[in-house]
Amino acid sequence: MSSRSTKFKVIVVGGGPIGLTAAHALHLAGIDFVVLERRLEIFEDRGASLIVHPHTLRVLHQFGILDDLLPRGVELDHHLSFTADGHVFAEGNRYGLIREYHGHGPVAFHRAELLESMYNGLPEGAKEKILTDKKLTDLTTTHDGVTATCADGSVFHGSVIIGADGVYSKTRQIMRDLALKENATRSWDPVHPYTATYQLLFGSFPSPSPAGQGYDIQSKGKAIMYFSGTDRGWFFLYKRLPRPTSERRIYTQKDVDAVAEEFAEFPLTQTVKVKDVWPRMLGAGLTNLDEGIVKHWSFGRIVLVGDACHKMTTHLGLGFNHGIQDIVVLCNSLRKAVRAASGSQGPRAKVLTEIFENYQAVRMSSVCSLEGDVAKSGLETRMHAWHNPCYYLLSRYLSVPHTIEVLFMKYVMAPEFRKGQVLDYVTGEERMKGKISWVYPVSPTTVKTDYS
Ligand SMILES: Cc1cc2nc3c(=O)[nH]c(=O)nc-3n(C[C@H](O)[C@H](O)[C@H](O)COP(=O)(O)OP(=O)(O)OC[C@H]3O[C@@H](n4cnc5c(N)ncnc54)[C@H](O)[C@@H]3O)c2cc1C
């Protein structure tokens, strides 16, 4: 960690998985920060899981938390696909191939436990900078700084704002207002820039099957993903909406129960149905499955990361993984600029604007896999829910042969995973070693990331 001291300070809005990632990365970069989280607790448990892929495990290792984290998750090692009437039509080895190519299979974590490990893995001095019950309500920016105001009246001054406040980002909304106030005729993203075509009921329950199994269950307009951990299982019940919508929808318990009822007879495994686990739920939530990429990721001293600037369906389990990549790319550049800045105030406004614009350009380019992964996640969701006859044919027949799966994992997914970036200012051991090399290796000496 750098001991260089400037007055440069980052205000991170949102203490979700990507806000906590920012806390780790900024702490390691020696950049002062504060995280403002609106909830009263960091580890809210709504029953969700997070699948973490090997390129992300590398970054978590750089944070020094991998060894604490791995025993809390379960590595996926077997996948079955079947129809809603129980017909098994594919038995895949996709997780084994990921392990073979990248050194570790995907790991399923209980989301609340992952957040707990991320938070507990921070040094005490960094933990003190994560403040709860701080709901951002307003932002003002000047030529040399930013001010964030929270619902309780507290005010925070800093140099830049990182908006890690999720799909309905208040930071994004205020940034939009500021941009349009400056020039009412400029084109900007709509208030809610994403569109949902599917609805998702997710939840967890005591696991009825061996740990490490993944299942997908397909039918017309409805599909399920199910993963089993050591103690609990997690399901994801997908239902096509009557029409795509960009409206924010908050669902009630009655809505949750109604969707669960519709799926009651659907199988989760060859012997267990949704109705068997529903009375034993440990937590559940219903949400629209937004998709899209925001066009404007920054304005002046404000920049967005994670779900605030891109959102994909959950079928490939990549949203969190991409938020981590945002922070890595952003902090690699930010740290260099802070170190290079001559004055104690940190980089000038113009430099920050360039860094933020370059960050978006890199994340949207073929250097990263973001755009392709948003498309592939949406494709997988539509295939599983037999969105139209083409998706049905693709899912039930064309993609089923083992050779196709191997070719897909080797020539489509592996080249994307291997692009995973790491913090170029944290040196150490490369823990994930498979048959396919990483484009950006973790090095015992500092690695230069050069996008030019
Ligand atoms: C059911 C489900 C399963 C998923 N499974 C996977 C998976 O397996 N793998 C994967 O990679 N991704 C998965 N995802 C996606 C993943 O959860 C998200 O991509 C990830 O959580 C994004 O993190 P984030 O920190 O950007 O946003 P969020 O997780 O939404 O966190 C935003 C934080 O900001 C806070 N906040 C919001 N507004 C304010 C405000 N005004 N002031 C202060 N704080 C505020 C919120 O309270 C929250 O803590 C899944 C998503 C869902 C819904």
Same domain membership, residue 202 and residue 68 = no
Same domain membership, residue 109 and residue 52 = yes
Give CA separation, 185 vs 181, 188, 194, 279, in Å. Answer: 9, 9, 22, 54
Considering only CA atoms, which of 452, 109, 424 is closest in space to residue 438? 424
Judge whether 436 lies within some domain: no
378: Cβ below 6 Å to ligand 1? no
Q: Which atom of ligand 1 is nearest to the CA of 167?
A: 30
Give CA separation, 113 vs 199, 271, 321, 330, 332, in Å. Answer: 25, 28, 16, 26, 27
Predicted pLDDT at 282: 94
Same domain membership, residue 106 and residue 116 = yes
12: Cβ below 6 Å to ligand 1? no
Judge whether 280 lies within some domain: yes
Distance between CA atoms of residues 89 and 83, nearest Å: 8
Predicted pLDDT at 4: 43
Same domain membership, residue 102 and residue 54 = yes
Last residue of a domain, one of 354, 377, 400: 377
Q: How many domains are there within the chain?
A: 2
Q: Which atom of ligand 1 is nearest to the CA of 202?
A: 1
287: Cβ below 6 Å to ligand 1? yes
Report the 10 Å Cβ neighbour count for 402.
11
Residue with tokens 């309780």: 152
**Coil, helix or strand at residue 386:** coil
321: Cβ below 6 Å to ligand 1? yes
Q: Which atom of ligand 1 is nearest to the CA of 200?
A: 1
38: Cβ below 6 Å to ligand 1? yes
Q: Which atom of ligand 1 is nearest to the CA of 36?
A: 43
Considering only CA atoms, which of 385, 409, 97, 67 is closest in space to residue 239? 385
Assign residue 367 the CATH number of its domain: 3.50.50.60
- Strand intervals (E) in 255-411: 283-293, 298-299, 302-304, 310-311
The single-letter code of the amino acid at 24 is H
Distance between CA atoms of residues 177 and 49, nearest Å: 34
Question: Nearest C-alpha to atom 9 of ligand 1 is from which residue?
Answer: 317
Query: Strand 9-13 relative to strand 32-36: parallel, antiparallel, unpaired?
Result: parallel
Predicted pLDDT at 444: 79
24 CB burial (10 A radius; 0-12, 13-18, 19+): buried
Distance between CA atoms of residues 215 and 269, nearest Å: 7
226: Cβ below 6 Å to ligand 1? no
34: Cβ below 6 Å to ligand 1? no
Predicted pLDDT at 409: 93
Distance between CA atoms of residues 353 and 298, nearest Å: 8
Cα-to-centroid distance, 193 and ligand 1 (Å): 16
Same domain membership, residue 393 and residue 406 = yes
Judge whether 433 lies within some domain: no
Same domain membership, residue 154 and residue 54 = yes
Judge whether 92 lies within some domain: no
Judge whether 111 lies within some domain: yes
Judge whether 399 lies within some domain: yes
Same domain membership, residue 182 and residue 157 = yes
312: Cβ below 6 Å to ligand 1? no
162: Cβ below 6 Å to ligand 1? no
Predicted pLDDT at 6: 59
Question: Nearest C-alpha to atom 15 of ligand 1 is from which residue?
Answer: 319
Predicted pLDDT at 2: 38
Q: Where are the alpha helices (DSSP H) in 263-348?
A: 274-277, 319-340
Same domain membership, residue 139 and residue 203 = no
pTM of the model: 0.95
Give CA separation, 419 vs 9, 102, 311, 325, 409, in Å. Answer: 30, 11, 19, 10, 14
Same domain membership, residue 301 and residue 283 = no
Same domain membership, residue 176 and residue 276 = no
Give the end-to-end CA distance of the chain in Å, rounded to a whole number: 26
Predicted pLDDT at 452: 42
Per the CB < 8 A criterion, the answer to whether 419 and 398 are in contact is no
214: Cβ below 6 Å to ligand 1? no
Q: Which residues contact 71 (CB under 8 A, 6 or more apart)?
A: none
Which structural domain, as residue segments, surrounds residue 240?
Answer: 195-290+383-410
Predicted pLDDT at 448: 53
Same domain membership, residue 249 and residue 220 = yes
Last residue of a domain, one of 377, 392, 421: 377
Same domain membership, residue 276 and residue 133 = no
Question: Nearest C-alpha to atom 31 of ligand 1 is from which residue?
Answer: 16
Cα-to-centroid distance, 306 and ligand 1 (Å): 8
Cα-to-centroid distance, 197 and ligand 1 (Å): 19
Predicted pLDDT at 342: 72
Q: Which two tokens stand for residue 220?
A: 């017309």
Cα-to-centroid distance, 311 and ligand 1 (Å): 10
Last residue of a domain, one of 330, 359, 377: 377
> How many alpha carbons lie under 13 Å from residue 350 in its C-beta half-sphere?
0
Predicted pLDDT at 302: 98
Distance between CA atoms of residues 286 and 62, nearest Å: 34
Q: Which residues, given as ranges, of the chain have pLDDT below 70?
A: 1-6, 445-452
Among 307, 309, 381, residue to substitute to test ligand 1 (most atoms within 8 Å of Cβ) = 307
Considering only CA atoms, which of 306, 296, 450 is closest in space to residue 360? 296
Cα-to-centroid distance, 166 and ligand 1 (Å): 5
Phi, psi of 122 (to 5 degrees): -80, 145
Judge whether 90 lies within some domain: no
